[in-house]
């Protein structure tokens, strides 16, 4: 029986399908609207352990520990969370561990929150400075999204690389500040 929620954009379903097909058994995340489908799907999948984090750098340790324990894991976060992880990325380099993160971008397309801009504009460079290869997805075609996430999984878990997939804010859509 398929217990995966179906109310989402097709590209969001493609992300989870690639993770599931790629053998991901643990999903670590700070709640985020862009990752909401993958989070709900992981919560409902009996083969996946989902862990909500208080801060993103905990996820770097969690996915590293999962690998050392024989499981594949992914860290789902927003671009602002990358800034929280920079020091913890040293664990990946020092211990030469594979790593996969999927990052929903902020501070790009039609951003309303000025606090999101600086890290959104620096996310890719911060990741690359810490030795993490970056793959960017701007086209919401689910086949393309699934291919990029699948390729990132292979690079991380078959080649031992540290990989981030950045999902463009334009795919997620405009966020608007609403006053009540």
> In CATH, what number is assigned to the domain containing residue 143?
3.40.50.970
* Domain-located, residue 162: yes
pLDDT over 70 percentage in the chain = 86
* The pLDDT of residue 34 is above 80: yes
Number of domains making up the chain: 1
* Domain-located, residue 3: no
What is the C-alpha radius of gyration for the chain, rounded to an integer number of angstroms? 15
For residue 151 the two structure tokens come to: 């390729």
* Domain-located, residue 2: no
Would you tell me how many other CB atoms lie within 10 Å of the CB of residue 114? 8
Tell me the pLDDT band of 118, cut-offs 50, 70 and 90: low
- DSSP letter, residue 107: S
Residue range 133-162, pLDDT digits in tens = 999 999 999 999 999 999 999 999 999 999
For residue 28 the two structure tokens come to: 């670590």
Question: 176: buried, middle or exposed (CB in 10 Å: 19+, 13-18, 0-12)?
Answer: exposed
* Domain-located, residue 178: no
Asked whether the whole model's pTM tops 0.85, one would answer: yes
Note whether 127 and 88 are within 8 A (CB): no
Range(s) of the domain holding residue 160: 10-172
Residue range 48-60, pLDDT digits in tens = 999 999 999 999 9
Would you tell me how many other CB atoms lie within 10 Å of the CB of residue 166? 23
Nearest to 84 by CA among 62, 56, 63, 64: 56
CA 42 to centroid of chain Cα atoms? 13
* Domain-located, residue 137: yes
* Domain-located, residue 81: yes
């Amino acid at each position: 029986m398929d217990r995966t929620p179906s109310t989402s954009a097709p590209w969001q379903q493609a992300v989870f399908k690639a993770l599931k097909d790629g053998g991901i058994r643990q999903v670590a995340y700070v709640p985020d609207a862009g990752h909401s489908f993958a989070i709900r799907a992981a919560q409902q999948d009996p083969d996946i352990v989902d862990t909500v984090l208080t801060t993103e750098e905990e996820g770097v340790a969690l996915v590293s520990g999962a690998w050392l324990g024989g499981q594949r894991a992914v860290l789902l976060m927003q671009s602002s969370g990358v800034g929280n992880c920079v020091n913890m990325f040293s664990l990946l380099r020092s211990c030469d561990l594979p790593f996969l993160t999927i990052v929903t971008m902020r501070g790009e397309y039609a951003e309303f929150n000025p606090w999101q801009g600086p890290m959104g504009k620096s996310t890719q460079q911060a990741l690359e400075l810490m030795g993490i290869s970056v793959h960017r997805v701007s086209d919401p075609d689910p086949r393309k999204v699934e291919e990029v996430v699948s390729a990132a999984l292979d690079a991380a878990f078959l080649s031992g690389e540290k990989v981030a997939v950045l999902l463009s804010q334009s795919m997620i859509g405009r966020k608007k500040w609403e006053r009540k």
